[in-house]
Chain A
Amino acid sequence: MSALLRADFTTLWRNRRSLRLVLLVPVVIVISWKGMVNMMGGAYVLSGGITIGLISIGLLGYTNSIARDRDKGVFQRLRVGPVAAWTIMSSRILVQIATIMAMTIAIFAVGNLVDKIVLPPLGYVTGFFAAVLGGALYLSLGQLIVGLIKNPETVNSTTRLVYFIFIMVGMLGNFGVLGDVVKESIQWSPYGVVNRVIATALQPETWNLQATYALLATLGYTVIFGVLGIRFFKWN
């Protein structure tokens, strides 16, 4: 496992240009939403940025790297060695979780330095864990996409399409621009539930029944996407 982790982290480091691009979008959003801090609250701005960062990492980072390496036969080469399949995938997922942690810390830092958002320490801690949980949902969604689609180019275009839909419909719908029905639907979509769990976790004193339902929905989506993604995944 340690050899795989070292190789996967090295791969991530060598891809730092694309990693920067993945982190850029949520950071830009947090900076550009500075004017909304007083209106909607710092937790809302941070949760929006983190949610979009999680979508980037899960859909653009993880999914495309799995699709590409599968297509090139990298997994086949690893699987003929004495290494269990779950170890190969766990190493990949651990690298993505580390990226999620780094992104969350970067959003907290940018929010604090640029938007002057200050949360209670407990809010940062619970928000951090909520981000990892939300990240699991998007990693499992990425797993489902790479499980259902074999061609790496099709995976790439599909993840970009889903990414665009999530961001545009999710953000605009959340603002109410697309009407009340869409707004209500968005709240229970993968975008909405993760956004709500993170926003509430950043202010743990505001945790309520709706947040609990959103947490359960997040777990439910993660399990369903993950099980189907593993069920349909082909190594070659």
Chain B
Amino acid sequence: MSNQQRAILEVDQLSVSYGPFEAVKGVSFTVASGEIFGLLGPNGAGKTSTLSAIEGLLRPQGGQINVAGFSILQQPLHAKANMGVQLQSTSFQAELTVAEIIRLFAGIYGKELTPEEVEEKLVEINLQDSGTKRFGQLSGGQQQRVSLVISTIHDPQLVLLDEPTTGLDPQSRRQLWDRIEAIKAQGHAVLLTTHSMEEAEAVCDRIAIIDHGRVIAIDTPEALIAAHRNDPDVIAVSRKGKITLEDVFIGLTGRAVRS
């Protein structure tokens, strides 16, 4: 973290349990302003539970989460006001138009948008002709763009993106990467989860690999590859002789398919 950067998200010794099952066991990491941080892990590793706890959707059994200095447990509304969230499967009221949805969420974050300002937002995401359409009438890529603009409508310090490019074609995915990098360029901290190692390598400044509820590696993608280049488990799964982030990921988390 450079001198100009400051920690926007601080997760310290986070623990989440579902009955006797411990989904997250003492996870700690920070995300700084102007940083894109990737949270990677196989299915059931604890990513979603970690993210849900940060979003305030579930109450952890232990640990601390601070967003822009506000505890999500003690000051949830202040913490939520400083973060923008794009959920994995976003859904809005089916009866509302795209313009109405943008106005609704701006209002929730305390911003009253004029029709002109709503139009500007639509132009920003190349949906100027779709303001009167219902959300369900948009394509997957268009829906993701709407979700992204809503998650940043209040200029939050932290943006959480849960598998933002799942199901998108390469063009839409590249466009979304550009938008994520633009969010970073504005000084926002970005935490994203993804199953795409290509995406993590392409856009993340640092990543944490989480497995069985614990962070097992945390660093820049390049540093992780360099650190595990000679690991026998990583070499064993590498293809075509070149070590990639995916090789490191599979080497560290195992070949077994998780349910």
Residues of A within 8 A of B (CB): 2-4, 6-7, 10-11, 14-15, 69, 72-74, 76-84, 235-236
In the assembled complex, B185 has its CB within 8 A of some CB on chain A: no
**A72, A73, A81, A235, most chain B CB atoms within 10 A:** A81
Q: DSSP majority for the A interface?
A: helix
- State whether B91 touches A78 (Cβ < 8 A): no
Q: How many residues of B contact A (CB 8 A)?
A: 27
- Partner-A contacts on B (CB < 8 A): 55-57, 77-78, 80-81, 83, 85, 87, 89-96, 100, 103-110
Report if A81-B95 is in contact (Cβ < 8 Å); known contacts: A10-B100, A73-B89, A76-B87.
no
Contacts of A74 in B (CB 8 A): 91-93
Which residues of chain B are within 8 angstroms of A72 by Cβ–Cβ distance? 91, 94
Q: Which residues of A contact B57 (CB under 8 A)?
A: 76, 79-80, 235-236
A208–B92 alpha-carbon span in the complex (Å): 49
A82 near B91 with CB under 8 A, answer no
Distance between B88 CB and nearest chain A CB, rounded to angstroms: 9
Complex Cα distance, B105 from A235, in Å, reads 19
Q: B81, A82: Cβ atoms under 8 Å?
A: yes
State the CA gap A80–B85 with chains docked (Å): 7
- Taking A76-B57, A77-B87 as given, write out 5 further A-B residue pairs in contact, using a Cβ cutoff of 8 Å, ordered by the A residue number: A3-B104, A3-B108, A10-B100, A11-B93, A14-B96
Q: Is the CB of B108 within 8 A of A81?
A: yes
With A and B bound together, what is the CA distance between A7 and B80 in angstroms? 20
B87, B93, B107, B109: the one within 8 Å of A2 (CB): B107
| B91 and A77 contact, CB distance less than 8 A | yes
Interchain nearest-CB distance for B81 vs A (Å)? 4
Q: Is the CB of A84 within 8 A of B77?
A: yes
Q: CB distance A81 to B80 under 8 Å?
A: yes
Q: List 10 A-B contacts (CB under 8 A).
A: A69-B93, A76-B87, A77-B90, A78-B108, A79-B57, A80-B57, A80-B83, A80-B85, A81-B105, A82-B110
